Structure 1
């Protein structure tokens, strides 16, 4: 029997322990450390103002506040990591959104593995690049799901990969037995005025449609939000479990891509894992291995008149291996070159 590769996954509260349980049940010896990013930062407004000016004028550094936040949070992060892995070593450490970590954390992790792999499931910007450059030489490979970031930040030598999914035990139980009560659902942020796009999509579907639209509005004024379809506007996000339940209870999932991104969201991959139809604004969805025109509708000005016909079609079963390609164990084997 071959020895399972040992992997440590570090992230900030988005993933659940199910990912660790699942990986340990297949081809890995895995450990997940979920850090809490909701740490209240102590500040002195007057001193911070002076230090910010000094950094901008003297050091030509415009990221004083961002660096202060990272440094402060990472003191707590480092303490937790030390408690959990002090006497452990790993073949690989997967660091999710590595620009949220300090050089001190990266240096400590490098003592516990020969390979730190970074993955960003978000776009890269100048601020993130500034942080990554500090310790890029400590990271063996740096992956990103957004092709635009790869093209725009060439100094980082980013490598493209998609997002992934992993089985949730309680969701697996209901995946094939839950009868949807809603035709269409969406859970996500308001960013890029997704409420406007969703309203337009619903306008193109005939008849009465049951829907469950949940949009995190943050600080956006309620009076400016679209209310024709009485969307559920949230102050904060919901749990992964609740998100999956909403998805299970729907026939069609909306996937509204941000205008500045070029990659596939978790939403479109998870929805396919749950055998749901998808309406997406991602014009490159045909690149997905599990793409089928009966299951995925690419929405734009030229196709929107066909949307109602799509909504009436049943889901078409596809080869399970096409979706399993994106499952976390297969995803890891590819980026770690274990295949």
Structure 2
């Protein structure tokens, strides 16, 4: 009999659809509680006034919790219906990712309807410290940034990396010699990206760079450099579309979010599709899938000549037993059963 899992994570470019698809591929029945929380929800003007008063008199923490409760209240009927499908039974598991996007009342409800409840925090805890207020709801709590375990020894945090999806993905119908990057605009990495583009241009490399922003800040920061596709956040690639772009490319490029130290999804997408990786994350050399032919750690002093030499090296296949460790299947087994 198939096990049932409740899925709760941020509404982010169809990531929940990829995870649900992989869970069903592995034989799970899935109750997906991912909802669009990008817009504030004020049923009446009184709710707007109450929100303002809470922020004014009770502080930011109470205000944020009220806003989350109000936002998800519009989905209350759907949540109630989906959980009613459990009948008088509990779900075998709940997989939460960044549970702090939800109000505590909803995570508590998920906890009540689940035998085993786990959370994976894919952002550093310092980015969203309110997640520490949710610890009581989980049997196990995983972080992708190993530094968080040292920073917060009073909590039973466990480290796990990100993963690559291992459900069946159709083969890309075309391939290019492009170096592919897709990421949100962050002022902290503008200098690194500019440096990389300048050196890549001296080699006449084909760049397929996409930077996502909700306004013109990215275009302004990069002086409208034509080497970059500027994408509005409302039109960004879905996670699955990104996987097809990785398949089509020759090299995946990754510029580290300076707040966190864990490896991004880009590193593992490159691993799945046997693509070379250029990353500013120096910790990648500590992983067992690292090979200097396949991965270049980009630094400020990396030269165009070194880039050209790296691209000329033949890709070295990674042993199956190492590669498999980072699949969603292996990741899920560890996070649910370990």
Q: Give the TM-score, by structure 2 length.
A: 0.85
**Contact 1:199-1:228 at 8 Å conserved across structures:** no
**Contact 1:17-1:32 at 8 Å conserved across structures:** no
2:277 matched residue in structure 1: 278
Offset from partner CA, 1:54-100 (integer Å, 9 cap, x none): 113xxxxx324422321112323443332112141222111111111
Q: 1:63 aligns with which of 61, 79, 85?
A: 61
Q: Please, which moves more after superposition, 211-220 or 46-55?
A: 46-55
1:51 matched residue in structure 2: 54
Offset from partner CA, 1:201-230 (integer Å, 9 cap, x none): 233344211111100133353333244453
Q: Does 1:198 align with 2:193?
A: yes
Offset from partner CA, 1:164-202 (integer Å, 9 cap, x none): 121354xx3215xx5522421110111144343122123
Q: How many residues align?
A: 324
1:38 to 1:45, Cα distance in 2 relative to 1, 3 A: closer
Equivalents in 2 of 1:49, 1:40: separation in Å?
13
3-state DSSP of counterpart to 2:170:
helix
**Contact 1:146-1:263 at 8 Å conserved across structures:** yes
**Contact 2:195-2:300 at 8 Å conserved across structures:** no
Offset from partner CA, 1:16-50 (integer Å, 9 cap, x none): 54543443444x52415132223432266665444
**Contact 1:143-1:159 at 8 Å conserved across structures:** yes
3-state DSSP of counterpart to 1:51:
helix
1:200 to 1:215, Cα distance in 2 relative to 1, 3 A: same
The answer to which structure, 1 or 2, has the higher relative contact order (CA under 8 A, 6+ apart) is 2
1:59 matched residue in structure 2: none
**Contact 2:119-2:142 at 8 Å conserved across structures:** yes
Instruction: Spell out the pairing of 1:114-193 with structure 2 (5 A cutoff).
Output: 114-125=115-126, 128-133=128-133, 135-169=134-168, 172-174=169-171, 178-193=173-188
1:182 to 1:193, Cα distance in 2 relative to 1, 3 A: farther
Q: 2:71 aligns with which of 53, 70, 73?
A: 73
Q: Which sections of structure 2, spanning at least 5 residues, go unmatched?
A: none
1:144 to 1:131, Cα distance in 2 relative to 1, 3 A: closer
Tell me the C-alpha RMSD between the 2 structures. 2.6
Offset of 1:235 from its aligned partner? 1.5
2:329 matched residue in structure 1: 329
Q: Give the TM-score, by structure 1 length.
A: 0.85
Q: Please, which moves more after superposition, 180-189 or 63-72?
A: 63-72
Equivalents in 1 of 2:230, 2:28: separation in Å?
41
